[in-house]
Amino acid sequence: MEKCRVSGVKKKAGDEASNIEKSLVIIKPDGVKKKIVGEIISRLEKENFKIEKLKMAKISRELACKHYYEHKDKDFFDPLIDYITSGPSVIMVVSGENSISRIRELMGPTDSRKAKKGTIRGDYGVDVTVNVIHGSDSPESAKREIELFFK
């Protein structure tokens, strides 16, 4: 009998390029207070991202410190923890093609004052601290953060 020739199996167009990633996205307390939760989710969905998990919670100081552990020695750490725990946030697992870098593009840079109009931070952020949204910055961070918030 003729052997199956795996190399002869045709893949669907675009299969090679597929890189579906999961990202942890947080609509921070200022975003919830401004009533732009729907607007932000809509922007993600219009870019064909899938909302896999979603919950609303006031992040505890303990969880916030774990999440932002990499910044623990920075001057802005205490104000950052005060800000992220100041009210309810919306916490999501979002998936899609190259979602990590593409979501960070939609967000805009950390400093809202430097973010272009049309980005989430450019349209709704206040400054370098109060900036509406968090998105994972690497596959390793995404895995760690998703386990932290959705264990």
Query: Which parts of this chain interact with ligand RTP (CB under 6 A)?
Result: 71, 76, 80, 110, 128-129, 131, 134-135, 137
In 3D space, the residue among 65, 63, 85 whose CA is nearest the CA of residue 147 turns out to be 63
71 is a catalytic site residue: no
Q: Cβ of residue 19: shortest distance to ligand RTP, in angstroms?
A: 20
Nearer to ligand RTP, 45 or 70 (CB): 70
Other beta carbons within 10 Å of 145: 23
The nearest distance, CB 125 to ligand RTP, in angstroms, is 9
CB neighbour list of residue 101: distance below 8 Å, 6 or more residues apart: none
Q: How far is the CB of 107 from ligand RTP (least distance, A)?
A: 7
Tokens of 137: 């910055």
Nearer to ligand RTP, 102 or 134 (CB): 134
Tokens (6 digits) for 93: 């697992």
The angle at the Cα of 22, spanning 33 to 116, to the nearest 5 degrees, equals: 50
Q: Which is nearer to ligand RTP, 58 or 76 (CB)?
A: 76
Of the residues 28, 102, 121, 134, which is catalytic? Answer: 134
How large is the angle between the packed helices 99-107 and 37-46, nearest 10 degrees? 130
Q: Which is nearer to ligand RTP, 18 or 82 (CB)?
A: 82
For residues 58 and 87, is the Cβ–Cβ distance under 8 A? yes
Residue 13: strand pairing partners: none
Residue numbers annotated as active site: 134
